[in-house]
Amino acid sequence: MRKSTFLVVAAGLAAALVAGGLFASNMGFKLNYEIQDSVAAGGGSGQSTIALPFNQQTNIGDAFDLITDINTAAGGSVVAQVAQFDAQTNLLASYNGSIGTAFPILGGEGYVVQVTSLVNYVIVGSHDPSLVVALDAQGTNGSASGQNFIAYPYHSTSADAKDLIDEVDAASAPGNTVAISFLSKTTNLLNSYNGSIGTAFPLVAGESYVIQVLADVAWVPSHY
């Protein structure tokens, strides 16, 4: 399944995922996350999804703060816009620092960042094991299709899209998860997996994903 509705017009337990630049412990983590421009991505428009910590150790309260923080990391004005997913329209609601709304940054919510130059953005925070992520089905809170744009938890035990489908279904009912999707940086389209059709793509720390469900789910992500 392929969707095109995601265009912008948005020292105990320890692990070290060197390839992804993630260094984590039971107290927190630090991730060096590469936000790619169109050149680095090999096409597209410089859009990347970003998953901020459930518990932030920064002062990012809204979209304006996020733009400022990324620009500071880049040493210049590289953020064209940031966006959140509007479940009522299946489109992105964007903010560029002056046009649009500086929407609040919420734990568990995914965002899209569009940049004009590659940025190595250091993200620091920790997981909140008590945070309940609400996955709305079609019609709930005005959701048009039951799609939810969710920040992938840094301490998640789900390694790929199949694991995530199984995890969400375990919190609801078998077959409740319609699909898990990621945003392709080269096409600006969603690539989806429904448990049998598509590829059970690996989940990457720092990225966000679309989870589409048939019935509402109060989901507490599994974590290590």
Report the pLDDT value the prediction gives residue 72, as an integer from 0 to 100.
97
Q: Does the pLDDT value for residue 1 go beyond 60?
A: no
Q: Does the pLDDT value for residue 28 go beyond 80?
A: no
Provide the 8-state DSSP code for 141: G
Alpha-carbon span 89 to 107, nearest angstrom: 22
Report the pLDDT value the prediction gives residue 190, as an integer from 0 to 100.
93
Q: Does the pLDDT value for residue 156 go beyond 50?
A: yes
Model-level pTM greater than 0.85? yes
Per-residue pLDDT tens over the stretch 180-205: 999 999 999 999 999 999 999 999 98
Report the pLDDT value the prediction gives residue 109, as an integer from 0 to 100.
95
Report the pLDDT value the prediction gives residue 22, as an integer from 0 to 100.
52
Alpha-carbon span 143 to 44, nearest angstrom: 27
Provide the 8-state DSSP code for 27: S
Alpha-carbon span 185 to 37, nearest angstrom: 9
Per-residue pLDDT tens over the stretch 39-82: 999 999 999 999 998 877 678 999 999 999 999 999 999 999 99
Under 8 Å between Cβ of 95 and 64 = yes
Alpha-carbon span 192 to 10, nearest angstrom: 18
Alpha-carbon span 146 to 141, nearest angstrom: 10
Under 8 Å between Cβ of 126 and 153 = no
Report the pLDDT value the prediction gives residue 17, as an integer from 0 to 100.
34
Q: How many CB atoms lie within 10 A of CB 31?
A: 20
Map residue 111 onto helix, strand or coil: strand
Alpha-carbon span 33 to 57, nearest angstrom: 16
Q: Does the pLDDT value for residue 21 go beyond 70?
A: no
Q: Does the pLDDT value for residue 2 go beyond 70?
A: no
Alpha-carbon span 209 to 202, nearest angstrom: 11
Lateral strand order in the sheet of 29-35: 14-17, 22-25, 29-35, 119-126, 55-56
Mean of the per-residue pLDDT values for the chain?
A: 87
Per-residue pLDDT tens over the stretch 89-135: 999 999 999 999 999 999 899 999 999 999 999 998 877 878 899 99
Per-residue pLDDT tens over the stretch 161-178: 999 999 999 999 999 999
Report the pLDDT value the prediction gives residue 203, as an integer from 0 to 100.
95
Domain assignments of the chain as residue spans, ordered by start: 2-126, 133-219
Q: Does the pLDDT value for residue 151 go beyond 90?
A: yes
How far, rounded to the nearest angstrom, does the alpha carbon of residue 119 sit from its chain's CA centroid?
17
Report the pLDDT value the prediction gives residue 33, as an integer from 0 to 100.
94
Q: Does the pLDDT value for residue 8 go beyond 80?
A: no
